[in-house]
Amino acid sequence: MNLLDAIATILSCEKAALHDYLNHPIAEKKIRDYLQGRKLRTTYLSQIGEQKDVTFGGFSSKSSMIQPAYEGFLGLYYYK
């Protein structure tokens, strides 16, 4: 299942409303607890053409345009 779909299902909201829901500390904690330690698959390919699995360690308060993602990519997918 797509990560955004899973989060929207847990919070009982539309994907378009996730930004508003995740600004609430209780909802953010609920999702953080759900994802903590889970393996996530990247949505982009590495330099050798493979998807990678990463372990969720928390949310970052830095913008994805500033915080490098796996292998130094800048984009929408990042982890802490």
Segment 52-77, tens digit of pLDDT: 888 888 777 665 555 555 555 444 44
Angstrom distances, CA of residue 5 to CA of 1, 9, 16, 49, 78? 7, 6, 10, 25, 17
Question: Tell me, what's the pLDDT at 73?
Answer: 47
Q: Which long-range contacts (CB under 8 A, 24 or more apart) does 49-52 make?
A: none
- CA angle centred on 35, ends 29 and 41, rounded to 5°: 145
pTM for the predicted model, two decimal places: 0.64
Residue type, 70: Y
What DSSP character marks residue 18?
H
| Sign of CA pseudo-dihedral 30, 14, 21, 12 | negative
